[in-house]
Amino acid sequence: MNFALKILKDFPSYLWGGWGAIASIFLFIALWDTGNQIYGDLVLPSPLETFQTLALMLQDESVVAEINTTLYRASVGFGISLLIGSVLGLLAGFFVTASMMSRPIVTILVGMPPIAWIVLAMIWFGMGDETVIFTVIVASFPIIFVGALQGTRTLDGDLKEMAESFKLPWHMKFFDVYFPHIFSYVFPAWVSGLGMSWKIVIMAELLATSDGIGASLAVARSQLDTPTALAIVVIMIASLMFIEYIVLEPIKREVELWRS
Amino acid sequence: MEKLEVQRLNHSFGFSEILRDINFSLKKGEVLSIVGPSGGGKTTLLHLCADLLDVEEGSVTNTFSSTSFAFQDARLLPWKNVIDNIAIGLLAGGAKKADAIKESKEIALRFGLEDKDFDKFPKDLSGGMRQRVSFARALVVKPSLLFLDEPFSALDIGLKKELQAILIDMISNKEISILFITHDLMEAIRLSDEILLLKADPGHIVKKFSYDMPQNQRDDKYVYGESAKILQDNEIIDTFELELK
């Protein structure tokens, strides 16, 4: 509880520190506008046009429904891989044999291109929610698994000994000694897993479904509707940036205050 | 009577024999040092006594009501601030959070930490400050037996003296018993009632030295004098492989 309060208390100063980031985003938009002036509206619509299209789209209920569909798929997929990846990773980390055995498997999972998973999933599950969710799970699972695995593998033996010498009860050992260390590995893995999920969900939708933002992107492509395509890209990036910089980063800073 | 009794203790890691036939006993209020060269099995012996390693052969009987341990390196939890680090032993013993914090603050001040340090994380402390915190953490639980694993070896002379003075104070008041391992003979002479000399390969006790003068009356002259004497001892020369010309 205190922890949440502290995050909220530090939030304004964190936001105030964001001017540099905003300046660089504006610089990027300026470059984008230059591109528009050189190549014309069909190839690269201007930022203004894109944001106008975006505003119109957000008023349209069907678009909001598409966004919700995509959000649902991404969160179910990410949620499942977060749960399974963290639990299996922690378990594997506690046993030397399990961590040695899991390494090559993780390499296979990471090395397998997501597009190949999508093809397989389309054959296995058909065109629908399952295919997308499955692809999201297989793509983000290894990242989270490896984070959790490393978190437990790198626990400090000296600190364990210290905990033994003070005869800490099991709950203190877990919450005061193991958890903060493991969390400092798992949390960044969750963040990258989330980013991965968000990218993969769009790709899977584009290829395998008829609804969701990814499917809208496919429609925009076939109609050569560049402003809509760019507006969808803006939605994707803006939502990712919101989650990463407004929600996760302040938590991460607070959690990792002790790090040098 | 509280005591620590070690009888016919042997220990091996795999095929290498670390300790052979160790016998000693430590009574309440006493300070027992085990000196010997590095790698001679001192730390293993201490860990066996402190129940951080399982005894394989022989026996270790510890009837002290409470123990705590100060390590060579501070071993603070990097994600906890100074006060929370000190309080950990109290909390493990079931103390209330508010009481534990209050006691930890008191002892922190006694160990030369300041109010402004209380919220700092270990990464923001100097090596000496960390060792102060580690000592405070070990002593705040008012252990009846304290295990010391060369805790002074990385400290400057001033801080060493300061921490030793606190211990000598407690020893003189008979508040504490200490099992102390070190490779520093002067340190051992300053603090101990009895010194056991542990020779390596495998670790076994070759000689015992006793010091009767109360710790708070031992001045530098006494310590230097006794150190000079002990350095002439053939067993010491042999154990530390000193070449005195």
Are B114 and B180 contained in the same domain? no
Q: What is the pLDDT of residue A1?
A: 60
Are B160 and B138 contained in the same domain? no
Distance CA A236, CA A226 (A): 15
A209-224 pLDDT per residue, tens: 889 999 999 999 999 8
Closest approach of B83 to chain A, Cα-based (Å): 14
**Segment B134-141 mean pLDDT:** 92
**Which domain covers residue B109, as residue numbers?**
78-142
Are B80 and A258 in contact (CB < 8 Å)?
A: yes
**Number of separate domains in chain B:** 2
C-beta separation of B39 from B181 below 8 A: no
Q: What is the pLDDT of residue A15?
A: 84
**Segment B129-154 mean pLDDT:** 90
Tell me the average pLDDT of chain A.
90
* B226 domain residue, yes or no: yes
Are B88 and A176 in contact (CB < 8 Å)?
A: yes
Q: What is the pLDDT of residue A5?
A: 82
* A136 domain residue, yes or no: yes
Written as one string, the DSSP assignment of B133-169 is: HHHHHHHTT--SEEEEESTTTTS-HHHHHHHHHHHHH
Distance CA B31, CA B177 (A): 6
* Residue B89 at interface with chain A, using a CB cutoff of 8 Å: yes
Q: Which of B79, B91, B122 is facing A172, going by the closest CB pair?
A: B91
Q: What is the pLDDT of residue B231?
A: 86
Are B225 and B147 contained in the same domain? yes
User: Which residues have a Cβ under 8 Å from the Cβ of A244 and sit 6 or more positions away?
Assistant: A191, A194, A195
Place of tokens 């639980």: B141
Are B111 and B33 contained in the same domain? no
Q: Which of B75, B88, B137 is facing A158, going by the closest CB pair?
A: B75
Place of tokens 């699972």: A141
A81-93 pLDDT per residue, tens: 999 999 999 999 8
Distance CA B34, CA A146 (A): 44
Going A255 to B115 to B109 to B72, the CA torsion angle's sign is positive
Q: Which of B71, B91, B121 is facing A162, going by the closest CB pair?
A: B71
A66-109 pLDDT per residue, tens: 999 999 999 999 999 999 999 999 999 888 898 889 889 888 98
**Segment B183-211 mean pLDDT:** 89
Are B89 and A166 in contact (CB < 8 Å)?
A: yes
Are A158 and B73 in contact (CB < 8 Å)?
A: yes
Are B61 and B82 contained in the same domain? no
Q: What is the CATH number of the domain that holds A87?
A: 1.10.3720.10
* A40 domain residue, yes or no: no
Q: Within 13 Å of residue B176, how many CA atoms lie on the same side as its CB?
A: 26
* B126 domain residue, yes or no: yes
Distance CA A12, CA A128 (A): 42
A171-209 pLDDT per residue, tens: 898 889 998 899 989 999 999 999 999 999 999 999 998
Q: What is the pLDDT of residue A59?
A: 92
* Residue B91 at interface with chain A, using a CB cutoff of 8 Å: yes
Look at A135-144, B132-141, B142-151, B230-239 and tell me which has the smallest mean pLDDT. B230-239
Are B126 and B193 contained in the same domain? no
Are B151 and B222 contained in the same domain? yes
Are B88 and A172 in contact (CB < 8 Å)?
A: yes
**Which domain covers residue A192, as residue numbers?**
50-255
**Number of separate domains in chain A:** 1
Task: Give the tokens for residue B54.
Answer: 């399982």
